[in-house]
Amino acid sequence: AQSVTQPDIHITVSEGASLELRCNYSYGATPYLFWYVQSPGQGLQLLLKYFSGDTLVQGIKGFEAEFKRSQSSFNLRKPSVHWSDAAEYFCAVGPSSNTGKLIFGQGTTLQVKP
Amino acid sequence: ETGVTQSPTHLIKTRGQQVTLRCSSQSGHNTVSWYQQALGQGPQFIFQYYREEENGRGNFPPRFSGLQFPNYSSELNVNALELDDSALYLCASSPEARGNEQFFGPGTRLTVL
């Protein structure tokens, strides 16, 4: 079955501290992987994506993610968190074809302490 | 460049009624996908439209239907509303041949009483 698991429902970090959000996926074919961020009452903003090539991908707002095929993981990282990063983060997996059914995880809520 | 827009922002309906939600895709995008996001959950894929044809459907009953117009805007129609249909409905558009690269609108919050 195709699925995405985000093991941490809620994470709290101090401003300036590093961040890692975990994502594990189960997908039969070669996956395309995404991280989105959602602020309260807003839609989803694409942070970064992995299709192929270098397994460390850079995104917007200083985020990066590493694809590890052997662990079926695509963890999101940021070296130094800012208060404005507080939001909900979603990992998603999709097909390599043009049919765009994305499968999302349940999300991780990030709280940033001053 | 105009992003994805959705209307209305909020909507309140009663059980059994019908609702239509609208989405305008980003300039240059010809593929539109719809998702339902219940409170505290990740988005769930409803269906996708490509060049006015349905191009994939998730596990939603037939009372969820859609349309895409020649200008690539789209509608989501839900008949016989149920309380569980209360959710944020998200529309996403994609460029040609890149249906899995999705750019989301702000969503429509539907409340069914």
Q: Which residues, 6+ apart, have CB-to-CB distance to A48 below 8 Å?
A: A34, A35, A57, A58, A59, A60, A63, A64, A65, A76
pLDDT at B97 over 80: no
Cα torsion for B89, B95, B101, B102, to the nearest 10°? -10
> Tell me, what's the pLDDT at B64?
98
Cβ separation of B100 and A107 shorter than 8 Å?
Answer: no
List CB contacts (< 8 A) between A43 and chain B. 4, 6, 90, 104-107
Cβ separation of B98 and A43 shorter than 8 Å?
Answer: no
A106 — pLDDT class (breaks 50, 70, 90): very high
pLDDT at B5 over 70: yes
> Tell me, what's the pLDDT at A27?
87
Mean pLDDT computed over A59-72: 95
Looking at per-residue pLDDT, the higher value among A1 and A20 belongs to: A20
Question: Mutate which of B102, B108, B109 to disrupt the A interface (most A C-beta within 10 Å)?
Answer: B102
Q: Which residues, 6+ apart, have CB-to-CB distance to B71 below 8 Å?
A: none
Tell me which DSSP letter residue B107 carries.
-
Q: What is the mean pLDDT of chain B?
A: 93
Tell me the per-residue pLDDT of A17-43, one tens digit each, with 9 for 90 and over: 999 999 999 987 778 999 999 998 788
pLDDT at A58 over 90: yes
Q: Which residues, 6+ apart, have CB-to-CB distance to A100 below 8 Å?
A: A94, B31, B33, B48, B55, B56, B92, B94, B99, B100, B101, B102
> Tell me, what's the pLDDT at B53?
92
Cα torsion for A87, B95, B101, B49, to the nearest 10°? 90
Residue A94 · residue B92 · CB < 8 Å: no
pLDDT at B1 over 70: no
B51 touches chain A (CB under 8 A): no
Tell me the per-residue pLDDT of A67-105, one tens digit each, with 9 for 90 and over: 999 999 999 999 999 999 999 999 999 876 666 789 999
Cβ separation of B43 and A102 shorter than 8 Å?
Answer: yes
Report the side by side order of strands in the sheet with B64-68.
B5-7, B19-24, B74-78, B64-68
> Tell me, what's the pLDDT at A98?
64
Please state, in angstroms and rounded to a whole number, the distance separating the CA atoms of residues A114 and A22.
23
> Tell me, what's the pLDDT at B23?
97
Lowest mean pLDDT among A57-61, B49-53, B64-68: B49-53
Tell me the per-residue pLDDT of B25-63, one tens digit each, with 9 for 90 and over: 998 899 999 999 999 899 999 999 988 999 889 999 999
Could you check whether the bond before residue B8 is cis, i.e. omega within 30 degrees of 0? yes
A109 — pLDDT class (breaks 50, 70, 90): very high
Mean pLDDT computed over B67-85: 96
- Half-sphere exposure of residue A7, counting CA atoms within 13 Å on the CB side? 10
Query: How many Cβ atoms sit within 10 Å of the Cβ of residue B15?
Result: 11
